[in-house]
Amino acid sequence: MEKIIIAGHGSPRKEANNIEQVAGLLHTMLHPECSDDCVRVAYLQFAKPDIREALEACVQDGAQKVIVHPYFLSSGMHVTSDIPELILEAQGRFPDVEFIYTEPLGIHNKMAEVVLERIRAASGLTPGEIEKRSFEIICEEIDLRDVPGERVPIIKRVIHATADFEFKSSLVFHPDAVKAGMEAIKAGKDILTDVEMVRAGISKKLLEKWGGKVVCNIQGSGARGKGKEIKTRSEQGIEEALKANNNIGIIAIGNAPTALLKTIELLHGQGVLPYAPTDPFPLVIGVPVGFVKAVESKAELAKQTFPFITNSSRKGGSTVAVAIVNALLKMAEER
């Protein structure tokens, strides 16, 4: 078992000790469907848990390898001396555990991009102006004239969210996908998500205008079953929500391939869901990211006759799912 510790300095100001968000994002990237506490935070001073406590807790939880990343910009005394001393102490106490210490954030081209973004933000441009200019840059760098008009806003927003132009060619649309999504939004249908990160990113303001809400049932679910029948929390959450709510018009899955496969399975047997035979199928946005079942689940979705939007690669994720839904919401508002 492997545990990762993101080690920060810590501050007397409680609100400054917020690297939990970074740990959460890293955990989602590394282990998309995992509910264990694989990535933890620790602080050198002023906040809890401290690094010594975090190292000991990881070992007590059964970790055979503990990776410590110093969440610092440069290699000062804390990075080169204080934290390594704590790791050496832990190594002496737990000789059977492998401890790995990484480089700090340091100099990286991504850091320069972040600084540039902050400079531009401070130059007086409003968020709306920044977004407008971003979309102008996208149009300057990629030709979308061969894309059906109704799909262009979705592709542009996904590229804007990911800075990845590959999505122009990898996004796959059912012929009725955009129409189904727009109709669901305007009919006041709810949007079901597989994880909280997707739920949090969808514009509630735009959706509530039409009477719908965003639903995520992962918090109230848990892995169930035995042997090969064990279901992930996201899979269980999707199943329970679909069986209980007959007002779901869009299902947005950005994280869990198992949730997407469960959605396809349930919609195939629509009779077990609380829908009338004449009810339209929900639009399924299935863009889970990863190496295990992600591509396979999206390929299975692309075979379906009900409306869907997916992509034909390992790429995807919560950010992509959110971008697609928000594009549909903005299109509904504009029209």
Residues annotated as catalytic (active site), given as ranges: 160
Report the DSSP pairing between strands 308-311 and 171-173.
Answer: antiparallel
* Six token digits for residue 5: 């510790």
Two tokens, residue 191: 């949007």
Give yes or no for a contact between 142 and 131, defined as CB atoms under 8 angstroms apart.
Answer: no
Check: CB of residue 274 under 8 Å from CB of residue 248: no
